[in-house]
A and B are shown apart, each in its own frame.
Chain A
Amino acid sequence: DQQVKQNSPSLSVQEGRISILNCDYTNSMFDYFLWYKKYPAEGPTFLISISSIKDKNEDGRFTVFLNKSAKHLSLHIVPSQPGDSAVYFCAAETDSWGKLQFGAGTQVVVTP
């Protein structure tokens, strides 16, 4: 069963505006979360991560927020650029094993 869920399969945003991608998880043992980005015909590449001891991690235009009580995390992209158009995967791992559990992905389209 899906322990990492991305309920929005797609998101369209105007260039320069904020993109907000959401991810929910069910396993309270998850304590490290990652976002991967995937362009067509390419494999996913690591984007940003966050440990469960933090509630925010920022890297340039990308910020990930974690709400442990709600078992929810989000990725903010500000400002959105056309090159950000891609599929974004949320992933989680537990302390006892390094396997990654991925969500189904969210397709982001940034329009001019």
Chain B
Amino acid sequence: DAGVIQSPRHEVTEMGQEVTLRCKPISGHDYLFWYRQTMMRGLELLIYFNNNVPIDDSGMPEDRFSAKMPNASFSTLKIQPSEPRDSAVYFCASSPVWGRHYEQYFGPGTRLTVT
């Protein structure tokens, strides 16, 4: 399998613009997670899906952030409007099973820079 695929790998945008990050999970994985990595806070869970349904979005920082999973092989994380403080690396991860001790497989990440 190709692993978790994310696009774009790098995104540079101006403040106020809409940004869409994309993720293709590993085939057969029922769970999909979006994380954000910053220097100060490390990896933060933003939202996760089970069978395409959002289960917990308590980590989404603001209403400017939204995520969708229209089918089992595709998810998007959208920021509208973007702000400089959104600059971070965004990771998508998938897992075949939710729950304790189960390994999550991460994509390579999207480095977002908002100027």
Contact = CB atoms under 8 A, between A and B. Distances in A.
A24 to B, nearest CB: 13
A105 B108 contact: no
Contact of B98 (A2, A45, A98): A98
B61 interface: no
Interface of B: 4, 9, 35, 39-45, 48, 56, 91, 93, 98-109
21 contacts: A2-B42, A32-B100, A32-B101, A41-B9, A41-B108, A42-B109, A43-B106, A44-B106, A46-B103, A49-B101, A91-B43, A95-B100, A98-B99, A98-B102, A102-B35, A102-B42, A102-B43, A102-B44, A103-B42, A104-B42, A105-B42
Contacts of A44: 43, 91, 106
Main secondary structure of the interface of B (DSSP, over half): loop
A104 B101 contact: no
Contacts of B91: 43-44
A100 interface: yes
**On chain A, which size bracket covers the interface?**
20 to 34
A102 B56 CA distance: 17
A41 B106 CA distance: 12
Contacts, number: 54
A45 to B, nearest CB: 7
Main secondary structure of the interface of A (DSSP, over half): loop
Interface in A26-66: 32, 41-46, 49
A86 B105 CA distance: 17
B108 A43 contact: yes
A76 B24 CA distance: 34
A15 interface: no
A2 B101 CA distance: 21
Nearest to A99: B45
A19 interface: no
B5 to A, nearest CB: 11
B34 to A, nearest CB: 12
